Amino acid sequence: MSRYKNRVVAGQALAEALAERGYPDPIVLALPRGGVPIGAEVARALGAPLDLVMVRKIGVPTQPELAAAAVVNGDHPEVVLNDEVMRMAGLDRADIDRLAATQLDEIKRRRVLYFRGRSRKDIAGKTAIVVDDGVATGATTRAALIAVRRQKPARLVLAVPVGPADTLAELKGDVDDLICLETPRFFHAIGVHYADFSQVSDDEVVRILDELEHPETMVDGP
């Protein structure tokens, strides 16, 4: 049974939990595209800027939704491997590097589209709050966390509405704080926990970033 009506509602619930922590100097860092509506609600509630972590899952060729690795493109592109999935799928590092090239091309396309005319946020010494619409295998999330940690935030927080307990336990060592609202005993997929888990479009990401930069253009959402 779905727990959240949509990502906006999930983001509002997550924002409420984060507001109680009173983190100093917060900066919200969302994983595109699904994490952006979540991050927007958190940023509004905390009065914090929103930026993006440009990370892409590297899926198994026969099962694209199953992450064998993930790649993040910051100043230093970072590939994080999911060894168990790689073994199961019969993939080696050369296969991952080949698949990563395609994802880096997509990241490049998105960077041009999303950041045109926008300044990136300096997170050094701040509280970096990494958000997404959920965690599954953790490969994509771990890549994002490694990239953010390299920018030397004073505190690194991972905040998601839902995720499996075992994956969250593995990620706990990568952050200073971890907030997850729901850890179902039997976890199948992130989308099961949303009534509306439709894909977030590039246009929606750009619209959300524009609205946060220019709040006077906002209209009431769902």
What is the pLDDT averaged over residues 158-176? 96
pTM of this structure: 0.89
Instruction: Specify burial of residue 154 (Cβ count, 10 A radius: 0-12, 13-18, 19+).
Output: middle
73 falls in which pLDDT band (50, 70, 90)? Answer: confident
Cβ count near 105 (within 10 Å): 12
pLDDT at position 75 is 61
At residue 88, the 3 state secondary structure works out as: helix
Phi, then psi, of 104 in degrees rounded to 5:
-65, -35
Q: Which of 30, 48, 37, 47 is nearest to 11 (CA)?
A: 37
**CATH 3.40.50.2020 holds for 7-217:** yes
Distance of CA 112 to CAs 32, 143, 172, 192, 204, Å? 14, 21, 32, 32, 15
Question: Does residue 206 carry a pLDDT above 70?
Answer: yes
Q: Where are the beta strands (DSSP E) in the chain?
A: 26-30, 50-52, 55-60, 63-72, 78-81, 127-131, 155-162, 177-182
- For the chain, the structural domain boundaries read 7-217
pLDDT at position 222 is 46
Contact 19, 8 (CB under 8 A): no
